[in-house]
């Protein structure tokens, strides 16, 4: 991107953050980041269900409190490009249930249901252009209905292609939500490689870079989940996501472990509790310096920064 255009975009996005709020958030790129975990977007509200209305309200709260969407893969790569004073947040959706992505047929044409997660995200991004349009969908290609690739068999390929074309990410969640702790090595590898192969039927050469563990269960050997080959099919995961655990460390921190990434289940009261926590403990929250090429940390915290940083990034200590 042209550097002058980038500066203009930064300025426009920053202008959407209230000046008083931004002034209270000195840069701290060693702070923690929330990786939010959603399941069903449906009614009624339940243990694994967020209603469309509450999901919209979640996005409103994130926006108002200065959070901006980033892709999980960008977090892993240390490429966090959000305005100064704002905080990156990652959205993940497990189990490919129909309320996450649904088509409606109107007058012989397909439209995205405005009440599904994709429809809500796209509408919110149009209304709040500085918020971003990013999420990772952990799909189940061979699950029983209604969790088999969003439960519209005639549109499976169209949906996967659409997600990728819009900048959303697809992640591995095994073929059918297999508890990997229960199986021998061959079965684990087959679950992971076959899930990727299934996605590639519709999106050739797409690599599922991340794995969300069903039920948070690691296989007996973590290496089985990281990379492997079976029957000529290879897979490699750059990160493994857990089912809970709280906010994740900064990707610039020494303690950042991509193979054990915690998440926050985005239901009441969990989400409210963490939003309130970061309101009260600003020093624990990742706050961007607005420059994706620098990593700004409080003075005296250099020793907590990973070495080396991702290529091209420069460390800055602030008073």
* pLDDT digits 0-9 by tens, 169-209: 999 999 999 999 999 999 999 999 999 999 999 999 999 99
Are 75 and 189 found together in one domain? yes
CB atoms < 10 A from the CB of 163, how many?
Answer: 21
Are 155 and 91 found together in one domain? yes
Please give the tally of structural domains in the chain.
2
**Domain presence at residue 167:** yes
Are 179 and 298 found together in one domain? no
Are 284 and 295 found together in one domain? no
How is residue 272 annotated by DSSP? H
**Domain presence at residue 253:** yes
Are 139 and 176 found together in one domain? yes
Is 175 buried (19+), middle (13-18) or exposed (0-12) by CB count in 10 A? buried
**Domain presence at residue 44:** yes
* Cα-based distances in Å from 143 to 60, 96, 113, 178: 33, 9, 22, 10
Are 134 and 247 found together in one domain? yes
Are 168 and 315 found together in one domain? no
User: What range defines the domain where residue 218 resides?
Assistant: 32-288
**Domain presence at residue 148:** yes
Q: Which residues of the chain have pLDDT under 50?
A: 1-19
Which pLDDT score is estimated for 315?
98
pLDDT tens-digit series, residues 101-135: 999 999 989 999 999 999 999 999 999 999 999 99
Are 64 and 212 found together in one domain? yes
Pairing between β-strand 109-112 and β-strand 103-106 as defined by DSSP bridges: antiparallel
**Domain presence at residue 10:** no
Which pLDDT score is estimated for 23?
52
Which pLDDT score is estimated for 235?
98
Are 213 and 296 found together in one domain? no
**Domain presence at residue 15:** no
**Domain presence at residue 203:** yes
**Domain presence at residue 19:** no
Which pLDDT score is estimated for 3?
37
Are 153 and 299 found together in one domain? no
Mean pLDDT for all residues in the chain: 93
CATH number of the CATH domain containing 146: 3.20.20.370
Are 202 and 308 found together in one domain? no
Q: Which two tokens stand for residue 172?
A: 């591995």
Closest CA to 168 of 109, 115, 233, 96: 96
Are 57 and 149 found together in one domain? yes
């Amino acid at each position: 991107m042209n550097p002058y255009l980038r500066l203009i975009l930064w300025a426009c996005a920053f202008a959407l953050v209230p000046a008083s709020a931004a002034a209270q958030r000195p840069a701290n790129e060693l702070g923690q980041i929330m990786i939010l975990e959603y399941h069903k977007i449906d009614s009624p509200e339940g243990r694994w269900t967020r209603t469309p209305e509450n999901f919209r309200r979640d996005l409103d709260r994130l926006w108002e409190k200065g959070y901006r969407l980033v892709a999980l893969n960008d977090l892993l790569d240390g490429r966090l490009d959000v305005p100064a004073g704002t905080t990156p947040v990652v959205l993940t959706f497990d189990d490919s249930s129909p309320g996450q992505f649904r088509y409606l047929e109107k007058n012989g044409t397909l439209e995205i249901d405005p009440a599904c997660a994709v429809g809500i995200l796209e509408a919110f991004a149009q209304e709040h252009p500085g918020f971003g349009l990013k999420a990772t969908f952990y799909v189940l290609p061979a699950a029983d209905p209604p969790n088999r690739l969003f439960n519209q068999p005639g549109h499976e390929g169209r949906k996967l292609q659409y997600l990728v074309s819009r900048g959303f990410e697809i992640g591995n969640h095994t073929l059918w939500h297999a508890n990997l702790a229960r199986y021998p090595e061959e079965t684990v590898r087959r679950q992971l490689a076959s899930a990727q192969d299934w996605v590639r039927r519709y999106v050739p050469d797409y690599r599922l870079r991340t794995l969300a563990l069903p039920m948070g269960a690691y296989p007996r050997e973590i290496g089985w989940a990281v990379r492997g080959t079976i029957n000529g099919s290879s897979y490699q995961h750059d990160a493994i996501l857990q089912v809970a655990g709280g906010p994740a460390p900064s990707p610039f921190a020494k303690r950042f472990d991509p193979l054990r990434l915690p998440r926050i289940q985005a239901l009441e009261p969990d989400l409210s509790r963490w939003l309130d926590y970061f309101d009260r403990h600003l020093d624990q929250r990742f706050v961007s310096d607005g420059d994706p090429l620098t990593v700004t940390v409080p003075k005296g915290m250099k020793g907590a920064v990973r070495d080396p940083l991702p290529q091209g990034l420069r460390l800055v200590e602030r008073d």
